[in-house]
Structure 1
């Protein structure tokens, strides 16, 4: 009888357990449907917690997921009174310091029940007070022996008695839920991977299109400006190409933006420590970055800056400006691809310019040394921008040996660049020789060597201190190919003459030396200086240099009184009076041809000697 009475409760208990298990299975029918669809993971977690609440007869739940850093962050929540409370739960984290309740669930991988939260030391006190929890059940979601999530259930501001069967039912529910959760997480991961593959495929297709368009443009002979314009069209944003000093080399912007000037990176932004550091770290391994990283008042627009590297050396920047549309990941790929194409194009142009420059230098060398037929030199001239039927001069820039801080080729390029920038000097060519740079200049219409003196002097001054030029000498006019070797030889002789006198003046012309060059080239420098001093000694004993200066001006004016008076700003009679005094002092007529020639030579000697 006792056995019979004992068997009845057991049978009823079995029926009750079977009934509760069927409830669990029924609860998972809806969860299964959701898990097989494209329902977001957050919704599935909320449904999982909601179904557990209904099974246990409670009103609130919160679900936490384990991240890659092993921290349990809030993922979803449900409350019978408030509905979806996921946003509030997502601001929470389980297992933090002071939350021994959650740690026990995680470490034991088993349900943990607290019937009196207010008196139990394990829960995080502030969290329990915030949620007004009286009693709570924590259930782990365990898959393959690892806790991948947590579910907490309670009644809002009410006590609740959880039986052992409730705890067992919750554990069973959590085991099944972990399987579905793991599958849902795997599905979500696969969807993210698939979306990533699609994005990568689209990016590759985009880059392939970019590559084809840029390559075709370059093969069609597009200029750097054309490539920059194409980049602007592909990005639908302004694009700016800078040199290493942030000077704008080229830029383009969509027509709809109606920009009148390049939206360049402002100097005040470039000087910000964060921006300077970011730009300094750009390299082949990290070619692009956004500056400033975050916008602030007064900083203008954000710029995606990409480094140009040519032959291993930093050679400028390519910038895409955030105007109209936000910067995207593909903009960085476009900038990097565009920077590569522009680097190759700039390198190609440099190589072409160097080749053309070398060819012009070889041609000028042939012209100076008469190594080719004159007719052939005249015929080849136009391809180098040289028309030998027009009058030209040679300019010899004599360099200070041992005091240069640039290479020979760099010095030649500096000279060419400054000459090309000077007004009236079209298409200059130059060749490097030991201790000198020889430039070929076409004379302005109706001009002569003397007309170039001031311009050459300005060029000489502008080259300092990068290039130390001892002196500059302008040759006589060359009107045919045969004239250039002679002019070159005369420049060498004048250079040697200037060196022998120790002259470090500015600019000389071959014509102004005249007969003096022939006499002084004999090499008897001391005798020449002695002659000059002796010839002018009688005037040096005068109280001031008025008579000496008057005679010098008179000689330069070729013996014309009116021109001398105009030069000195005095009356003609004053000049005649002074010439009379000069005649008495030297005992000779200063206007005589012989005296004029000797005086001219004496003044030239003293000028060269630095007296």
Structure 2
């Protein structure tokens, strides 16, 4: 095994007897080979000038060194910013360009003491018997089937910037001292070109990055202008989402906070009929869930899922919408047709900002309109403006005071936890509109109370009529019971002109106070059904009223299992008509008359007379309100 470390070409040998100094044949050969080096670098110089490809230049350097040394294979490694030497180019007389295979390799890795020695000594290192030497990386040498190898450093400014390895594929080869010196000379010159090529490549990369950044800034400026102009021109949220889809050439979906789809758009060429949503089972995956939860103002966007697998569908670029510091939904650009790009992230984040501002603006506008509607209804209830002015302002809120209306007063139990007043009003109005199958009616919030204005028209016009309104109010109480504790719902009499509304409002308050004094919380009351009862109990003598009611029915309760009392109640509700009572109880009319006779015996008065009917009606209303 032969090993030698060489720093420069050897000095010419002493002349033999009869020879002129400096004219030995061996030194002539060396000088001739130096001229070959110069010729080789002529080609390399031409390549460096005419080609901007660093890999081609490195491959030519290796090829020329192989020709100078009479070997068949060469590989070049360059030092990176992390001080690791990675394969850059390679040449083989047999296979030609082997750069791709060399680029999969790295020199100086653990176990590669051969390369480390070249790096640390900054001088050529020769291993004549690779299979018998412990310094080379064994698996690499076996893969390349190396027998003898020369490693030469590329030194620039006293720093090793790369390595060149040469060998004769699968064959022994003897490297002379002149070979080693020539290789070192070649590598010293080559380092100059390679260093310049590295700088050129770096400058080219930086130039490309600058151009890309310039193009990105121009693109984003164009995006900003288009989005801004669209908003200034009055574009709604759907129009902005469609514009984002056109700019990205991908589907775009706008989600609410609970992932309900608020708007979406897709390029026409994709022919989508449904939004490409992020499925619930994908959102439930721990990695996706954690990524979405981590989105914030500091980290507004992320791609989920990060990598695709079978059953995961498409990748979604999700961007958080933050409105007044509160998370308010997501904007998604979906990877369909074209892969997601870095500019898509900028587009999504910019679009999310524009949409957040637009949503906030719409909220403010809706709040302002809602406040104006509330102010109008408040004026109507308090009679603070003249009737002509109220009638003139009504149409801008969808109110025609020439049509009949009623007020519905929903009273909330103040002892139970409630949502905010505005949130409670939205719940009640939204549910009532759903029950009626109509647009949301006008409403106003007072402490513990929500008052709703509902229009009444003829039943054949397909709009609300009193019976349907009572059922709708009952539906509101039932549907909202898990979220709101509504104590009572009271429906006013019909209002036909502006002056009727303050009166109806006052009556509703009196009825609600009456119900509260009796502890009643049984559902829906109407002003019409209470009638004279309101006048009688308005004195506030609740205890006396309850005592009166109990005394009226006490004789009957002592001799009844409930049948006679139920018949009496049905008879009063039927306004003293025996046939209607029999129909309500599903019994024969003679049975009703028989029971009425029994009632007469126990209460010692005729239940069919007008005075008895009025007393009984009032007693039953008192008992109902008192929950007895």
Correspondent of 1:219 among 204, 213, 232? 232
TM-fit CA distance, 1:207? 1.9
**295-304 vs 478-487, which deviates more?**
295-304
Cα distance in 2, alignment partners of residues 238 and 340 from structure 1: 18
* 1:414 and 2:427 correspond: yes
Query: 2:81, 2:173 → 1: CA distance?
Result: 35
Distance 1:305 1:502 in 2: 53
Relative to structure 2, which stretch is displaced further, 332-341 or 351-360?
332-341
Q: Report 1:22-41 matches (<5 A).
A: 22-41=35-54
Q: Deviations over 1:26-45 (max 9, x none)?
A: 11111112212334222211
1:579 alignment partner in structure 2: 596
Q: CA 1:49–1:17 in structure 2 vs 1: closer, same or farther (change >3 Å)?
A: same
Kept after mapping to 2: 8 A contact 1:385/1:427: no
Displacement of 1:397: 1.1
The CA distance in 2 between the partners of 1:557 and 1:424, in whole Å, is 31
Which residues in structure 2 correspond to 1:335-354 (within 5 Å)? 335-354=348-367
SS at match of 1:422: helix
Aligned to 1:20, which of 29, 33, 43? 33
Aligned position for 2:78? 65
User: Any idea what the Cα deviations from partners look like across 1:186-225, whole Å, max 9, x if unmatched?
Assistant: 1112222222222222222222222222222211211211
Give the corresponding residue for 1:56. Answer: 69
What secondary structure is seen at the aligned counterpart in 2 of 1:599? Answer: helix
Aligned to 2:308: 295
Equivalent in the alignment of 1:528: 545
TM-score calculated relative to the size of structure 1? 0.96
Q: Deviations over 1:448-501 (max 9, x none)?
A: 544311101111222222222111111111111111111111111111111111
Match of 2:558 in 1: 541
> Does residue 521 of structure 2 align to residue 504 of structure 1?
yes
| Separation in structure 1 between the aligned mates of residue 398 and residue 515 of structure 2, nearest angstrom | 32
Matched residue SS, 2:587: coil
Aligned to 1:295, what secondary structure does the other structure show? coil
Partner in structure 1 of residue 392 of structure 2 = 379
Q: Is the 8 A contact 1:305 1:317 kept in 2?
A: yes
CA distance in 2, matches of 1:385, 1:38: 76
2:173 corresponds to 1:183: no
Instruction: Call closer, same or farther: CA 1:5–1:531 in 2, change over 3 Å.
Output: farther
Residues 250-265 of structure 1 correspond to what in structure 2 (within 5 A)? 250-265=263-278
Q: Is the 8 A contact 1:450 1:509 kept in 2?
A: no
Equivalence for 1:482: 499
Q: Structure 1: how far apart are the matches of 2:149 and 2:15? A: 39
Question: Residues 444, 295 of structure 1: CA spacing in aligned structure 2 closer, same or farther, 3 A cutoff?
Answer: farther
Give, in angstroms, the shift of residue 333 of structure 1: 2.0
Of residues 534, 545, 557 in structure 1, which corresponds to 2:574? 557
Judge which range, 428-437 or 561-570, deviates more: 561-570
What is the distance in 1 between the residues matched to 2:549 and 2:105?
Answer: 102
* Separation (CA, whole Å) in 1 of partners of 2:16 and 2:266: 94
- Mapped to 1, the partners of 2:422 and 2:209 lie a distance apart of 53
Note the C-alpha offset of 1:242: 0.9
SS in 2 for 1:165: helix
**Structure 1 pair 2/175, CA: closer, same or farther in 2 (3 Å)?**
closer
Q: Secondary structure at the match of 2:414?
A: coil
- Asked whether 1:143 is paired with 2:156, we answer yes
Alignment of 1:391-430 (within 5 A): 391-430=404-443
Residue 133 of structure 1: SS of its match in structure 2? coil
Query: Is 1:208 the counterpart of 2:225 in the alignment?
Result: no
Do 1:589 and 1:595's aligned partners in 2 also have CA atoms closer than 8 Å? yes
Which residue number in structure 2 is paired with residue 445 of structure 1? Answer: 458
Which residue does the alignment assign to 1:169?
182
What is the deviation of 1:330?
Answer: 2.1
SS at match of 1:250: strand
| Contact 1:449-1:474 within 8 A present in 2 as well | no
CA distance in 2, matches of 1:320, 1:373: 55
Residues 1:312 and 2:312 are matched in the alignment: no
Return the offset for 1:600: 0.8
Partner of 1:434: 447
- 1:109 corresponds in structure 2 to 122
SS in 1 for 2:479: helix
SS at match of 2:566: helix
In 2, Cα distance between equivalents of 1:542 and 1:51: 126
- Which of 42, 48, 51 is the aligned partner of 2:55? 42
**In structure 1, what is the Cα distance between the partners aligned to 2:570 and 2:465?**
21
Deviations 1:327-374 (A, max 9, x none): 222222222222111111111110000001111111111111111112
Return the TM-score normalized by structure 2. Answer: 0.93
Superposition RMSD on alpha carbons, in Å? Answer: 1.9
In 1: Cα distance, 2:445 partner to 2:142 partner: 88
The change in CA–CA distance for 1:11 and 1:342 in structure 2 (over 3 A counts) is same
More displaced, 598-607 or 265-274? 265-274
Q: 1-side partners of 2:24 and 2:482: how far apart?
A: 108
Q: Distance in 2 between matches of 1:353 and 1:379?
A: 22
- Structure 1 window deviating more from structure 2 (51-60 vs 186-195): it is 186-195
Identify the residue that residue 270 of structure 1 maps to in structure 2: 283
Identify unmatched segments of 5+ residues in structure 2: 1-13
Structure 1 gap ranges (5+): none
Deviations 1:36-87 (A, max 9, x none): 2334222211111111111111111111111222211112111111212222
Matches of 2:350 and 2:559 in 1, distance apart? 78
Q: Report the Cα distance in structure 2 between the residues aligned to 1:451 and 1:123, rounded to whole angstroms.
A: 94
* Displacement of 1:12: 5.1
CA distance in 2, matches of 1:557, 1:197: 90
Instruction: Note closer, same or farther for the CA distance 1:154–1:410 as it changes in structure 2 (3 Å cut).
Output: same
Aligned partners of 1:449 and 1:475 also within 8 Å? no
Aligned-partner Cα distance in 2 for 1:180–1:448? 94
Shift in CA distance, 91/495, structure 1 to aligned 2, threshold 3 Å: same
For the residues of structure 2 that align with 1:448 and 1:589, how far apart are their CA atoms? 37
Alpha-carbon separation, structure 2, partners of 1:3 and 1:360: 119
Rounded to whole Å, the distance in 1 between the matches of 2:482 and 2:246 is 44
C-alpha distance in structure 2 between counterparts of 1:269 and 1:364, whole Å: 47
Classify the secondary structure of the residue corresponding to 2:168: strand
